[in-house]
Structure 1
């Protein structure tokens, strides 16, 4: 059992106590611990002997049901109950305890009560070397340290032979789908009044706030309705709750953090809170019990508590997908965004904006980000999708047309169409011929020129001679590829800076955050330039179909 004796800032003194189960000698102490947790409201059951217990989860705001029935192996019941009590006393989350209890029951019943070494060997051999096998064996070793059985030595040897599972990148939805969802959210809350969108306004709050500040779903759902503050210098601040991933006590380990926000976010939250007040909706939290603002009959949003839990908010988000994203805007996504995804989007955005790891860790509510390279893997996909969508928007704004398939592969028909356009355009007689097109800026040429004609949106017109048309398209694509290489190189440098790998390279000095921000500015310049060039290629494809 682990507990904290003293904690000051980032320093803490922990006590680790080892317990060994003895049914005859010390069962009473676990019954006393049972009564302690029951009287304090952390556990619900009539007596220690009940087969079913309910552990209250302060984070999820609900009970976790534990069933200790192990069939013909019920001799394990008392030790399993005692093991559960010690783990909860040391701060292990009820959801983790429930999952670990299921693993122990499964391995006990699948190995004939952990009595035969050969049966236990075969069990783990058949499961193979996977993360799941490692987790089951890890839990079993922990249990056998508490309740020593003859099989303990063998299980420990098996566990030592397993490899620790490598942390994988979180599976995020495809970023084109993320950007489409973003469009739907912004359109819906811009096209309709607050009165019409009130039932879904928590979705707008969640999407806006958690894409700026890396928040866990529980942290967003526990933001107080009176979270805003204007300081004497006129700056706007929001106070948010923070929860530690791991606790060393029965209660949640939490604290509050104030973060600077802009006036738009401040006004959005303030207007919503004012609307709730006008409607006489009494709520402690920014997201009120959803049944107060949502009249949906098919699903009841009422929980009987003052706060919304994560499962209900997830169902609420899926309802928004159904009614708004799909029914109103005709967008159907197989991989939908979950409430926890936006925390990762926010961290990716902070990386792309040039914030260092320590700043991002502080804004994320923990001491350090252990695997920033994971976020850069996603950042590369994010940047690529961002360019593609930006190019699409530029094209749609210019020619009011829908997206077609692909960027390359223009056929002879399109070449002939391009030549017809040139022949019919009398204005070209007054324009200056430049690479694969014309410059319309006659009076101030070259004073208004940018670094490359392919980036000029105002004056450059792509209209090559018919026999140079394929070369012109290749010219555009070459520059697009060159910009893509610049984007990749810049992202790699930003990754190197943020993960401190530059310290191992000779001749490279430490780059401070201001220089990191400069890299971020350069990155978004490349992103915008590539979008311009890709939009021009898209426009040519659409116009010459």
Structure 2
């Protein structure tokens, strides 16, 4: 297969939504091929063959060719897995199913990288980097080549990714190109989704215990709640979540665990990935309740009962597939899309498709959350199912959502009140503390801005309004609004600097072997993480006093 001379037509990300597991992945790839055959899209070749012909549209005479013969030269690098070709084939089948147009180009770019590096040998990495950087191809071509190779590495998590991914990602950052690859939704849209998901779940659960007819909706919303709460804490791919077994939870002397579908490693030199993780009691009870409610529908191989979803109503017949004992990524995706329609029809909150959450987004959120909380890269890799530390190199962004989420979570905790209003597509405003708690205190000591309500004047911050003892009248707030606004922006800038510092230190630890032996760097991460938590709490404290989303001239507050 020769390298293409024309402009490539893909926008594949460096992140893969899927994860390779030899038996499951091969079986799933064959099922996808069977389906494409029925749809008259798969023209020629079985999974075991090295030449395929596939078309994008039913009965279309124009086809795309997929040639895997070059992979026979995998002997150039004996360190590659014995089933390397099967890995590539499973990866490509998933791309054919997801992207349609881009799969052929992805394979061509990947095979060019494979050929240049003699099977991704470590000592040939510079050859690949020089080819990408100095070739006459367009910047889009170069970026797509990096994305295709990194996407494969993310899908397979093979050992050579340790040597290639950081260098490729660094090179990509130097290439001037405006990509069309989808970005994660802005935090306000993600928080809107989270807010209404929790609200709708509580509503239908309460109604279900009083009205049998409401049970159907419970079975459609419950899987989303489990997925959302679990995968925002533990970095899990959609396929991994869907494959969680029915008997996944256990109570061992008051400690609660969940078992994930992860492969045990024979190579003890690599990071050992635990398949049994500690969870809190709330998550345990949530999953336990779901199992009890869905046992009535009979056997299921997976935690999520597929039959219970079908029971949700005739309109959900589209969820049906051949194997009723398994819950699939496609089903999860459809449940998420269905809930956005619920948000629109029941709560008048419409979010455009480009800003809607996708199944793999929570994996990014969870990686950032662990990093910002000061977890070491080794622990993050173990929780995220990565066999190498460097595999997490390109998960270091997307801090905006985590910061916003933490501020909002702390605001709710501080105010200890229910959310009562919601602006379409924005973070919900919380109950306003009318005169900012000014009239509810008998003691008031005048300060430069506002008043101190503590007789002993136990200061918690250099700036009074980041202290829990501070209060202000409506009139004085209006007079000092610009100064408060300026100080809030300074606080936000400080938070941004801390998150950037933590990201940079983690990148250094991930990419540099010597840094991983420097205990001082780990202590610095923990120190910066503690400082970040303190700054976020102070910002949440002030914003809860000043009315949540209307602090800055009636505009929605942007924390990061």
User: Into which bin does the TM-score normalised by the smaller protein fall?
Assistant: 0.5 to 0.7
User: RMSD of the alignment, in Å?
Assistant: 5.3
Equivalent residue for 2:140, pick from 130, 135, 141: 130
- Could you say what secondary structure the match of 1:130 adopts? helix
User: Which runs of 5 or more structure 2 residues have no equivalent in the other structure?
Assistant: 1-25, 75-82, 97-101, 110-134, 150-167, 174-178, 209-214, 265-271, 427-433, 555-560
**Counterpart of 2:281?**
263
Q: Aligned match of 1:166 in 172, 177, 180? A: 172
Distance 1:518 1:164 in 2: 27
Aligned match of 2:450 = 437
Q: Find the aligned partners of 2:470 and 2:311 in 1 and give their Cα distance.
A: 52
Secondary structure at the counterpart of residue 342 of structure 1: helix
Instruction: Give per-residue Cα distances to partners, 1:275-310, cap 9 Å, x unaligned.
Output: 222x14211110122544422426421111122222
Q: What is the CA–CA distance in structure 1 between the aligned matches of 2:441 and 2:312, rounded to whole Å?
A: 59
- Residues 389, 327 of structure 1: alpha-carbon distance in 2 compared, 3 angstrom cutoff: farther
**Kept after mapping to 2: 8 A contact 1:437/1:461:** yes
User: Could you tell me which residue of structure 2 aligns to residue 181 of structure 1?
Assistant: 193
How big is the shift at 1:314?
Answer: 0.9
Q: State how far apart, in whole Å, the 2-side matches of 1:400 and 1:300 are.
A: 35
* 1:165–1:304 Cα change, 3 Å: farther
What SS class does the counterpart of residue 326 from structure 1 fall into? helix
What residue number does 1:327 align with? Answer: 345
3-state secondary structure, aligned to 2:302: coil
Task: Identify the match of residue 503 of structure 2 among 490, 495, 501.
Answer: 495
The alpha carbon displacement at 1:103 in A equals: 4.3
For residue 392 of structure 1, report the CA deviation from its aligned partner.
Answer: 9.1
> What are structure 1's unaligned runs of at least 5 residues?
1-36, 57-63, 108-124, 140-161, 245-253, 407-417
Q: Partners in 2 of 1:329 and 1:257 — Cα distance?
A: 39
Q: Which residue of 1 aligns with 2:44?
A: 52
Residue in structure 1 matched with residue 371 of structure 2 by the alignment = 351
1:514 shift after superposition: 6.0
Aligned equivalents of 1:258, 1:213: Cα separation in 2: 12
Aligned to 2:328: 309
Q: Compare 447-456 and 426-435 and name the one that shifted more.
A: 426-435
* Selected match of 1:446 from 434, 453, 457: 457
Q: Give, in angstroms, the shift of residue 274 of structure 1.
A: 1.7
Q: Give CA deviations for 1:467-516 in whole Å, capped at 9, x if unaligned.
A: x954x22332232133223312322332233223698999x963365663
Where do 1:181-260 residues align within 5 Å? Answer: 181-193=193-205, 195=215, 196-231=217-252, 233-242=253-262, 257-260=275-278
| Aligned match of 1:525 | 534
- The C-alpha deviation readout for 1:61-87, integer Å capped at 9, x for no partner, is xxx984499x9999x98x948679999
Stretch deviating more after TM superposition (495-504 or 330-339): 495-504
Deviation of 1:172 (Å): 0.8
- Matches of 2:330 and 2:229 in 1, distance apart? 20
Cα distance in 2 for residues equivalent to 1:288 and 1:303: 13
Pairwise mapping of residues 453-472 of structure 1 onto structure 2 (< 5 A)? 453-462=464-473, 470=479, 472=480
| TM-aligned CA deviation for residue 343 of structure 1 | 0.7
TM-score by length of 1: 0.62
Please tell me whether residue 288 in structure 1 is matched to residue 308 in structure 2.
no
Quickly say closer, same or farther: Cα 1:386–1:330, change in 2 above 3 A: farther
What is the aligned counterpart of 1:91 among 79, 83, 86?
86
| Cα distance between partner residues in 1 of 2:258 and 2:172 | 36
Shift of residue 212, structure 1, vs aligned partner: 1.1
Q: Does the aligned pair in 1 maintain the 2:71–2:85 contact within 8 Å?
A: no
SS of the aligned residue for 1:230 comes to: strand
- Number of residue-to-residue matches in the alignment: 422
Q: What is the rounded CA distance, in whole Å, between the counterparts of 2:52 and 2:237 in structure 1?
A: 24
Shift of 1:183: 0.8
Alpha carbons 1:289, 1:303 under 8 Å: kept: no
**Take 1:187 and 1:280, find their aligned partners in 2: how far apart are those partners?**
26
State the secondary structure of the residue aligned to 2:472: strand
Report how far residue 316 of structure 1 moved. Answer: 2.1
What is the rounded CA distance, in whole Å, between the counterparts of 1:532 and 1:101 in structure 2?
49
Q: Name the SS of the counterpart of 2:519 in structure 1.
A: coil
Taking structure 2 as the reference length, the TM-score comes to 0.60
Pairwise CA distance, 1:235: 1.7
| Structure with the larger strand share | 1
Say whether residues 1:276 and 2:282 are aligned partners.
no
Aligned counterpart in structure 2 of residue 478 of structure 1, from 486, 503, 509: 486
Larger Rg: 1
Change beyond 3 A, Cα 1:337–1:540: closer
Relative distance call for 1:190 and 1:429 in structure 2 (3 A) is closer
Q: Are the aligned partners of 1:131 and 1:165 in contact in 2 as well (CA < 8 Å)?
A: no
